[in-house]
Amino acid sequence: MSLDKNLLSKLAVGDKHGEDSPYFDGWKAYDNNPFHPEHNPQGVIQMGLAENQLCSDLIKEWIKANPQASICTAEGIDGFSDIAVFQDYHGLKQFRQAIAAFMEKARGGRVRFEEERVVMSGGATGANETLMFCLADRDDAFLVPTPYYAAFDRDLSWRTGVRIIPVECNSSNNFQVTKQALESAYLNAQETGIKIKGLILANPSNPLGTSLDRETLQTLMDFINDKQIHLVCDEIYAATVFAEPRFISVAEMIQEMDHVNRDLIHIVYSLSKDMGLPGFRVGVVYSYNDSVVTCARRMSSFGLVSSQTQSFLAAMLSDQIFVDNFLKEVSKRVAKRHLIFTEGLKEMGVSCLTSNAGLFVLMDLRQMLKDQTFESEMSLWRIIINKVKINISPGSSFHCSEPGWFRVCFANMDEDTLQIALQRMKHFVLRHRENKKRKSFQENLKLSFSSMTYDEHVRTPTLMSPHSPLVRT
Amino acid sequence: MDLLSRKATCNSHGQDSSYFLGWEEYEKNPHDVVKNPHGIIQMGLAENQLCFDLLESWLIQNPDAASFKRDGQSIFRELALFQDYHGLSSFKKALADFMSEYRQTRVSFDSNNLVLTAGATSANETLMFCLANPGDAFLLPTPYYPGFDRDLKWRTGVEIVPIKCTSSNGFHITKLALEEAYEQAKKLNLNVKGVLITNPSNPLGTTTTQTELNILFEFISKNKNIHLVSDEIYSGTAFSSSEFISVMEILKTNQLENTDVFKRVHIVYSLSKDLGLPGFRVGAIYSNDKDVISAATKMSSFGLVSSQTQYLLSSLLSDKKFTKNYLRENQRRLKNRQRMLVTGLEAIGIGCLKSNAGLFCWVDMRHLLSSKTFEAEMDLWKKIVYEVKLNISPGSSCHCEEPGWFRVCFANMSEETLKLALKRLKKFVVNGILSRSCQVGESQSLKSSRKKTTTTVSNWVFRLSFHDRDAEER
pLDDT 10s digits, A288-309: 999 999 999 999 999 999 999 9
- Ranges of residues in chain B with a pLDDT under 50 are 1, 437, 440-474
The confidence score (pLDDT) of residue B473 equals 28
B406: domain CATH number is 3.90.1150.10
Cross-chain residue pair B8–A133, CB shorter than 8 Å: yes
Instruction: Report how far residue A216's alpha carbon sits from residue A203's, in angstroms, rounded to the nearest whole number.
Output: 11
More confident residue, A181 or B442: A181
Distances (CA, A) of B14 to A248, B1, B19, B78, B398: 39, 19, 9, 40, 11
Residues 6+ apart with CB under 8 A from B320: B97
Q: What is the pLDDT of residue A469?
A: 34
pLDDT at res. A461: 40
Q: Is B277 on the interface with A (CB under 8 A)?
A: yes
Looking at the structure, do residues B274 and B331 belong to the same domain, yes or no?
Answer: no
**Which phi-psi region, left, alpha or beta, contains residue B119 (left: φ > 0; alpha: ψ -120 to 50)?**
left
Pair B251, B265: CB distance under 8 Å = yes
ipTM over 0.90: no
**B-chain residue closest to A307, CA distance:** B279
Residue A351: predicted pLDDT: 96
**Sign of the dihedral through C-alpha B17, B19, B23, B26:** positive
Please compute the mean of the pLDDT values over residues A115-141 and round it to a whole number: 96
pLDDT score at B12: 67
Q: Is B122 on the interface with A (CB under 8 A)?
A: yes
In a domain, B156, yes or no: yes
How far off is chain A from B424, nearest CA to CA, in Å? 26
Closest to A129 (Cβ–Cβ): which among B1, B74, B302?
Answer: B302
> Which of B60, B81, B260 is the best residue to mutate to test the A interface, defined by the most A CB atoms within 10 Å of its own CB?
B81
Cα B265 from Cα B246, distance rounded (Å): 11
Q: Residue A32, exposed/middle/buried by CB under 10 A (0-12, 13-18, 19+)?
A: exposed
In a domain, B96, yes or no: yes
Contacts of B63 in chain A (CB under 8 A): 73-74
H/E stretch holding B384 reads helix B374-386
pLDDT at A104 over 60: yes
Could you tell me if residue B469 is inside a domain?
no
What is the reported pLDDT for B471?
32
Residues B95 and B186 in one domain: yes
Query: Do the domain assignments include residue B449?
Result: no
State the CB neighbour count (10 A cutoff) for residue B466: 11
Work out how many domains chain B is built from and give that number: 2
Contact A291 B8 (CB under 8 A): yes
Give ∠ CA B77-B80-B86 in degrees, rounded to 5: 115
Q: Which of A62, A157, A280 to mutate to test the interface with B (most CBs of B within 10 A)?
A: A280
Of all residues in chain A, the one with the smallest CA distance to B73 is A60
Name the catalytic one among A30, A71, A148, A234: A234
* pLDDT of amino acid B15: 65
Q: Is B8:A295 a contact under the CB 8 Å cutoff?
A: yes
Q: Do B276 and A85 touch (CB under 8 A)?
A: yes
Residues in chain B: 474
Within 8 A of B264 by CB-CB distance, chain A residues are 7
**CB-based contact B279 A1, cutoff 8 Å:** no
List of chain A residues whose C-beta atoms are within 8 Å of the C-beta of residue B91: none
Q: Look over chain A and give the mean of its residue pLDDT values, rounded to a whole number.
A: 91
Residues B284 and B181 in one domain: yes
Report the pLDDT value the prediction gives residue A5, as an integer from 0 to 100. 61
Question: Which helix (H) or strand (E) covers residue B266, if one does?
Answer: strand B265-270
Q: Average pLDDT of A193-214? A: 97
B291/B308 Cα distance (integer angstroms): 28
Q: Does the beta-carbon distance from A137 to B150 stay under 8 Å? A: no
Residue B91: per-residue pLDDT: 95
B188 lies in the same domain as B337? no
Nearest to A85 among B76, B278, B291 (CB): B278
Chain A residue closest in CA terms to B85: A279
The upper half-sphere exposure of residue A285, i.e. CA atoms within 13 Å in the direction of its Cβ, equals: 36
For residues B86 and B209, state if they share a domain. yes
Contact A134 B122 (CB under 8 A): no
Q: How far, CA to CA in Å, does B371 sit from each of B135, B142, B404?
A: 37, 22, 9
With CA atoms as reference, the chain A residue closest to B135 would be A9
Same domain, B100 and B47: no
Same domain membership, residue B358 and residue B249: no
Residue B195 near residue B228, CB atoms below 8 Å: yes
B3 vs A: CB within 8 A = yes
Q: Is residue B442 part of a domain?
A: no
State the virtual CA torsion across B406, B411, B415, B420 in degrees, nearest 10: -30
- State yes or no: pLDDT of A72 exceeds 80: yes
Measure the CA–CA gap between A69 and A66, rounded to whole angstroms: 6
Same domain, B287 and B159: yes
Interface check for B73 against chain A (CB to CB < 8 A): the answer is no
Among candidates B410, B419, B363, which has minimal Cα distance to B48?
Answer: B410
B35/B111 same-domain check: no
pLDDT of A23 strictly over 90: no
Nearest residue to B164 via CA among B356, B402, B463: B402
Listed by number, the residues of chain B in 148-167 with a beta carbon closer than 8 Å to a beta carbon of chain A are 150-151, 155
A-contacting residues in B 356-415 (Cβ below 8 Å): 412
B135 Cβ under 8 Å from any chain A Cβ: no
What CA dihedral angle connects B76, B78, B81 and B87, to 10 degrees?
-110
Q: What pLDDT does A102 receive?
A: 97
Chain B residues with beta carbon closer than 8 angstroms to that of A280: 80, 306-308
Given CB atoms, is B279 within the 8 Å cutoff of chain A? Answer: yes
Q: Tell me if B132 and A137 make a contact (CB, 8 A cut-off).
A: no
What amino acid positions of B are annotated as catalytic residues?
145, 231, 233, 273
pLDDT at A448: 60
CA distance B259 to A255: 64
Same domain, B94 and B185: yes
Q: Which of residues B319, B352, B383 is at a domain's end?
A: B319
- Return the pLDDT at B434: 63
Helix (H, G, I), strand (E, B), or coil: what is residue B63?
helix
Domain presence at residue B456: no
Is the residue at B293 inside a domain?
yes
CA A165 to chain centre: 19
Last residue of a domain, one of B319, B345, B373: B319
Do A12 and B52 count as a contact with CB atoms less than 8 A apart? no
Q: Average the pLDDT over A133-141 and give the result.
A: 96
Whether residue B192 is found in the same domain as residue B234: yes
CATH code, domain with B109? 3.40.640.10
Who among A72, A86, A272 is closest to B312 (CB)? Answer: A72
Could you confirm whether A234 is annotated as catalytic? yes
Chain B residue numbers touching A163 (CB-CB < 8 A): none
In a domain, B201, yes or no: yes
Contact B42, B52 (CB under 8 A): no
Domain end (from B319, B353, B383): B319
Expressed as residue numbers, the domain containing B147 is 64-319
What is the spatial distance between Cα A336 and Cα A334, in angstroms, rounded to a whole number? Answer: 5
Name the residue of chain B whose CA is nearest to A230's CA. Answer: B3
By the 8 A CB rule, do A30 and A23 touch?
A: no
pTM of the predicted protein model: 0.89
Q: Do B302 and A122 count as a contact with CB atoms less than 8 A apart?
A: yes
Q: Is B77 exposed, middle or buried (0-12, 13-18, 19+ CB in 10 A)?
A: middle
Q: Work out the average pLDDT over A268-284.
A: 95
Pair B168, B301 in one domain: yes
Q: Residue A344: name the closest of A425, A416, A430, A435 by CA.
A: A425
pLDDT band of residue A466 (cuts 50, 70, 90) is very low
Best of A308, A312, A409, A413 to disrupt the B interface (most B CBs within 10 Å) is A308
CA nearest A77 in B: which residue? B56
Question: Counting beta carbons within 10 angstroms of the beta carbon of residue A46, is it exposed (0 to 12), middle (13 to 18) or buried (19 or more)?
Answer: buried
What was the pLDDT predicted at A18?
A: 84
